[in-house]
Structure 1
Amino acid sequence: MTLMLSHTTIDAHDPYAQATWWCEMAEFTPQEGVRPGSDECYIVTEHGYTVLFILVPDDKTVKNRMHFCMRPEGRTQDEEVDRALALGARVVSDFRDTGDWVVMADPEGNEFCVLSAA
């Protein structure tokens, strides 16, 4: 018997806002029951992977120990970075000159990377 990865859980002050933001950013699909005021909001990637945003009172205070690495499909890295910024993300570190990725943070400060399309 082995363990199967079920989903990734992300702490949030506002699970609905985070789920909505990530659905817009990464074109994920919200699960049934995702609504304002929910303590838990599930979203699903087009490949069937589930992300859970769960209500916690704690502020994020340090760098994430885990994060999403996102590779553009059908858009360039620059287009995805610009789109993330327009949706309310911010650039944490830009390594496009040396490593082909940009570390960004979502509206609650959770880091993620936008990789090059190649």
Structure 2
Amino acid sequence: MTSRFTELAIDCADPEGLARFWCAVLGYEVLDTDDGLFTIGPQPIPDAQRGPVPPTLTFARVPETKTVKNRLHLDVNPTDRDQADEVRRLLGLGARPADVGQRDASWVVLADPEGNEFCVLASRRP
């Protein structure tokens, strides 16, 4: 038997606000808001279209603030536009440029509204 990656828990100061940001980034929706936790994920998939299910993201309020570079981060790939257009869209949603020491990379490093770094990779459009 093996385990399957089903959920990523993210500590934050504003679970609702960060959940809204990541819903807009990923096209997810809020699935649950139990006890101040906000869980987001893809819209339910009809049984006829079953396949790999992306993990959900759960945002939990914590008192600590982020002070150092993430040890784990998300990579996103635009599906319907090129990388530069997607970076502009994400900046408009509240992301900001981040410097984690990258140099001449093919990806762009941004930070979400709470400073969590993530990468925008080149488009995977056909």
User: Is TM more than 0.5 here?
Assistant: yes
2:56 corresponding residue in structure 1: 50
Give the TM-score normalised by the residue count of structure 2: 0.81
Greater share of helix: 2
Q: 1:1-118 residue pairs with structure 2 within 5 A?
A: 1-33=1-33, 39-45=36-42, 47-93=53-99, 98-118=104-124
RMSD: 2.3
TM-score (norm 1): 0.86
Q: Distance in 1 between matches of 2:67 and 2:36?
A: 21
The percentage of aligned residue pairs carrying the same residue is: 40
Preserved CA contact (<8 Å) 1:94 1:101: no
Any unmatched runs of 5+ in structure 1? none
Pick 1 or 2: higher relative contact order, CA cutoff 8 A, min separation 6: 2
CA distance in 1, matches of 2:100, 2:77: 15
Distance 1:86 1:94 in 2: 21
Contact kept? 2:11, 2:61, Cα under 8 Å: yes
Structure 1: 4+ residue segments shifted above 4 A = none
Tell me how far 1:94 sits from its aligned partner: 9.3
Q: Which consecutive unaligned segments of at least 5 residues does structure 2 have?
A: 44-52
